[in-house]
Amino acid sequence: MLFFDIVRRALRNLLSSKARTILTALAIAVGTFALTLTLGASNGAQDYAQNIVKSNFDPSELLVSKDQNLFQRQDATQPQVYDPSFGSITTFGGESRQVKLLSNSDISKLASVSGVASAEPGISVSLQYLTRDGQRKYIGTLSPYNPYQSPELLAGKIPSTLADNTVILPEGFLYSLGFTDAQSAIGQNVRLSVKNQATIASTLPTNSASLLNAQSSSASEEVNFKIIAVSKTPNTVISAATSLYLYSNLNSVQNLNDYIYNGTSNYQKYLVANVKVKDGTNTTKLNTVEAAIKSQGYGVQSVIDTEKTITQVISVLEGIVTVFGIIAIIASVFGVVNTMYISVLQRTREIGLMKALGMHRKDISNLFRIEAGLIGLLGGLIGSFLAIVLGIGLNPVISSKLGLGDSKLLIFKFNQIGLLIIALIIIGIIAGLLPARKAAHLDPIEALRTE
């Protein structure tokens, strides 16, 4: 019997028992629905992580630290021995840690590594305030400008090399500082103030009631910066953390940073360095330089490592949902087995007649396996279709609520869904093996006697 004839007969048999076929397929659809949404969420999370990395990190750069443990989780159950030569940081969880800090000699050493294009200290300056004449004072952060960031501008132009004491002003400060529009800010000056940490420490009183007066009397410095461009606020939360950062050249940021820490143990010490690799978009070259830097005792994190860190928690949650989806599909397999057994019992006389007319055991076995596979196909199509429709409907709502802008939380790839449906067809065929074997081995005479 031809294969297509068997498929047509299998379809006709399933259509003759529509209710039973649909109910069995719906059991498979539940697991398919969960797995399709999980795949969509996984794709969305990966795309979102890639956008975060792309917006904030140069893929040809490596983040390097003096402390090899900086980029690793630490045992928080044991206290850390104090070392006065180390610097202190506070993690997002509020944990205090001491870490080794990079010096200028480390920066020079990293720059001399074969394959390295440049090595710069990774610094950002927390300003005491920024202001301009006749306006209120605002807190802010000044960072070195990286041409890779390529921010969208409302006005002005960013030259290939930024001059000292020039600044790219974010849109968020525009109207707060009294400018009528972006163009009116170009060429104007803002004053950035920083405070020396050594004088703060030396003037701290024993009486906490005098703390405010002591800090206000500590040394600070105001520097005029000329606005050369105004950057537009990003329309997504991808860059929300840095949307109010001001940007200048490295030398200007370095000068302010030196003033802040002059006279302290952190003077010209840095937590991390940004090491740019020659042709760093070539993964092989990037990995070679990373290995060379690690061999000298430094801690290194690449963009790929950063992306893995961002998606780690999401991957765990996706794994949990995937397990439940797989459990639902496994449970539905028993439903397929039960349905096919009932079908064999109800069609015993029909099977006997087919055998009496010369149909081979192999063809009968294929008939029931194909029916089981078609149930898997139907369940996969229903589940994936409902998941896609729900995802398309929810994406705009989720993006709006979470401020994702053009990013989508659920991204469906049809090649993944196609592979999932193929897997369900195979699972259906496997589930139909025992009923198909029973049908193929029925004695035609005994089958024809069945009432």
Query: pLDDT tens digit string along 18-44?
Result: 888 888 888 888 888 988 988 888 888
Euclidean distance between CA atoms 262 and 199, whole angstroms: 9
Q: At what angle do helices 18-56 and 303-346 cross, to 10 degrees?
A: 180
Euclidean distance between CA atoms 192 and 213, whole angstroms: 21
pLDDT at site 211: 45
Euclidean distance between CA atoms 46 and 394, whole angstroms: 18
**Domain boundary residue, one of 232, 267, 302:** 267
pLDDT at site 92: 44
With a pLDDT cut of 90, the percent of the chain lying above it is 32
Inside any domain, residue 371: yes
Higher pLDDT, 65 or 209: 65
Element (H, E) at 185: helix 182-185
Q: In sequence order, which residues have a C-beta less than 8 Å from that of residue 389 and are 6 or more positions away?
A: none
- DSSP conformation letters of 76-131: TTSPPPP-TTSEEEE-TTS-EEEE--B-HHHHHHHHTSTTEEEEEEE--EEEEEEE
Q: Name the residue among 171, 123, 174 with its Cα closest to residue 146.
A: 123
H-type alpha helices, 359-405: 361-402
| Region of poorest pLDDT, from 61-75, 204-218, 339-353, 433-447 | 204-218
Q: Name the residue among 25, 11, 18 with its Cα closest to residue 332.
A: 25
Euclidean distance between CA atoms 17 and 64, whole angstroms: 66
Euclidean distance between CA atoms 227 and 171, whole angstroms: 12
Beta strands of 164-313 (E only): which ranges? Answer: 166-170, 189-195, 220-231, 245-248, 272-277, 299-301
Indicate whether 322 and 253 sit together in one domain.
no
Euclidean distance between CA atoms 49 and 44, whole angstroms: 9
Indicate whether 232 and 129 sit together in one domain.
yes
The answer, yes or no, to whether residue 143 has pLDDT greater than 90, is yes
Euclidean distance between CA atoms 273 and 24, whole angstroms: 59
Residue 257 in contact with residue 125, Cβ under 8 Å? Answer: yes
Indicate whether 323 and 244 sit together in one domain.
no
With a pLDDT cut of 70, the percent of the chain lying above it is 82
The answer, yes or no, to whether residue 139 has pLDDT greater than 50, is yes
Task: Over range 215-226, report the average pLDDT.
Answer: 79
Provide the pLDDT confidence category of residue 327 given band limits of 50, 70 and 90.
confident
Indicate whether 248 and 377 sit together in one domain.
no
Structural domain span for residue 260? 124-267
The answer, yes or no, to whether residue 95 has pLDDT greater than 70, is no
The answer, yes or no, to whether residue 178 has pLDDT greater than 50, is yes
Q: Name the residue among 177, 115, 109 with its Cα closest to residue 140.
A: 177
The answer, yes or no, to whether residue 98 has pLDDT greater than 80, is no
pLDDT at site 207: 54
pLDDT at site 91: 47
pLDDT at site 80: 55
| Region of poorest pLDDT, from 127-136, 204-213, 365-374 | 204-213
Indicate whether 158 and 257 sit together in one domain.
yes
For 197-209, letters b (16+ CB in 10 Å) and e give bbbbeebeeeeee
Euclidean distance between CA atoms 363 and 173, whole angstroms: 76
Count CB neighbours of 72 within 10 A. Answer: 9
Q: In sequence order, which residues have a C-beta less than 8 Å from that of residue 404 and are 6 or more positions away?
A: 48, 236, 237, 398
* Distance (Å) of CA 318 to CA 52, 124, 255, 328, 381: 20, 35, 46, 15, 22
pLDDT at site 155: 93
3-state secondary structure of 66: coil
Helices and strands: H and E segment counts in the chain: 14, 13
Indicate whether 144 and 36 sit together in one domain.
no
Indicate whether 167 and 244 sit together in one domain.
yes
Please return the burial class of 84, using the count of CB atoms within 10 Å of its CB with bins 0-12, 13-18 and 19+.
Answer: exposed
Q: Pairing mode, if any, of strands 125-131 and 138-144?
A: antiparallel
Indicate whether 323 and 222 sit together in one domain.
no
Number of domains making up the chain: 2
Indicate whether 250 and 334 sit together in one domain.
no
| Region of poorest pLDDT, from 8-12, 116-120, 374-378 | 8-12
Indicate whether 336 and 445 sit together in one domain.
yes
Inside any domain, residue 148: yes
**Domain boundary residue, one of 208, 238, 267:** 267
Inside any domain, residue 305: no
pLDDT at site 76: 53
Indicate whether 327 and 261 sit together in one domain.
no
Q: Pairing mode, if any, of strands 166-170 and 220-231?
A: parallel
**Domain boundary residue, one of 214, 234, 267:** 267
Residue 380 in contact with residue 444, Cβ under 8 Å? Answer: no
Higher pLDDT, 394 or 76: 394
Residue 95 in contact with residue 316, Cβ under 8 Å? Answer: no
Provide the pLDDT confidence category of residue 377 given band limits of 50, 70 and 90.
very high
H-type alpha helices, 229-347: 250-261, 283-295, 303-346
pLDDT at site 330: 80
Which range, 70-79, 144-153, 168-177, has the best average confidence (pLDDT)?
A: 168-177
Which range, 46-60, 328-342, 407-421, has the best average confidence (pLDDT)?
A: 407-421
pLDDT at site 88: 55
Handedness of CA 41, 43, 49, 52 (dihedral sign): negative
The mean pLDDT value of the chain amounts to: 81
Inside any domain, residue 299: no
pLDDT at site 234: 73
The answer, yes or no, to whether residue 107 has pLDDT greater than 90, is yes
| Region of poorest pLDDT, from 244-248, 353-357, 400-404 | 400-404
Which own/partner pairs from 52-57 qualify as long-range (CB within 8 Å, at least 24 positions apart)? 52/238, 52/310, 53/303, 53/306, 53/307, 53/310, 55/149, 55/234, 55/238, 55/239, 56/149, 56/239, 56/242, 57/303, 57/306
